[in-house]
Amino acid sequence: MKRGYADTPQGQIHYITAGEGEPLLLLHKTGSSRQYEKMMSLLAARYKVLAPDNLGSGNSDPLPPGVRIADMARSMVGFMDFFGLEKVHLFGFHTGNKIATEMAAAWPSRVGKLILCGHTHSIMADHEALNAALMAVVEPSIRKFDPEPDGSHLVKQWAAEFSALSALWWDTTRLAGEPLTEELFRQRRERVIEMLQIRGLDQVYRAIFNFDRGERMKQIKSPTLLIEVATPQEKPLPRQGEKLVKLIAGSRLATVEHTRGGNVVEVEAEQLVKLILDFLKG
């Protein structure tokens, strides 16, 4: 794998790339392109795979003020322009599936086949329902304290952010159901590093809350595969896949039952890659 930086009108974007062939762009969830290293090693035999860090994430430049999903999508079109890529296949996971949706809706000529992937809470078909489900998951990470004259709100803010990072590193409730392996702790360590590198996490989620993905999905013309990631923790939530495929004409649905914990794009990399390859070849 090779690493580098792409200069775009929106800022410098760090990326990882591997393989040769048709270009396939992987857009990550909150974190960085590190999440895709295992998938890239499997996809690189058939495709030129590019995994950029979103602006404000990993080693890319900070987010622009008042960022919107449309701005993040535009930065990825600029990323394509840097490489002279007229069209790419797109895979987007969580935050990445919102950016990929906007790219396909706003720049249809630049997107070949489209794969949108997410846990049930991340792909709710209704805008308000999605925001409610997402807020229940991310609220501890984006909580802000009102300013105090003595500056005590800064200590509260630090304590809240430290607590959120500690939960990622040592979540004993999930460890009880997972085998303790070096790989598990490596993944957790990488996740903490990713979160430390993020600048403007609350801006990203504000952009997501303001983005009506359901309406934008109706504009998509690209052949589309929707992958719903189902987990035991989200069993009370109704499955969303059947609702989503009705928003994009001719789209198809696949479901990944993710029961082993950890980041699905790492833990279930082989299963996801098989779905991607089958869809792109079809």
Domain residues for the domain of 51 are 2-138+201-281
Does a structural domain hold residue 186?
A: no
Does a structural domain hold residue 187?
A: no
Q: Which two tokens stand for residue 47?
A: 């495709």
* 59, amino acid identity: N
Does a structural domain hold residue 158?
A: no
Does a structural domain hold residue 44?
A: yes
Q: Are 260 and 249 in contact (CB under 8 A)?
A: no
Q: Which helix (H) or strand (E) segment is 136 a member of?
A: helix 127-142
Does a structural domain hold residue 152?
A: no
Q: Which helix (H) or strand (E) segment is 24 a member of?
A: strand 22-27
Does a structural domain hold residue 188?
A: no
Does a structural domain hold residue 11?
A: yes
Tens digit of each residue's pLDDT (9 = 90 or more) over 181-239? 787 778 788 888 888 888 888 899 999 999 999 999 999 999 999 999 999 989 888 99
Distances (CA, A) of 157 to 121, 139, 141, 149, 210: 26, 13, 10, 15, 24
Tens digit of each residue's pLDDT (9 = 90 or more) over 144-160? 888 999 999 889 888 88
**Mean pLDDT over each residue of the chain, to the nearest integer:** 91
CATH number of the CATH domain containing 114: 3.40.50.1820
Domains held by the chain: number = 1
Greatest mean pLDDT among 65-69, 121-125, 233-237 = 65-69
Can you tell me whether residue 127 is helix, strand or coil?
Answer: helix
* This prediction's pTM: 0.90
Does a structural domain hold residue 160?
A: no
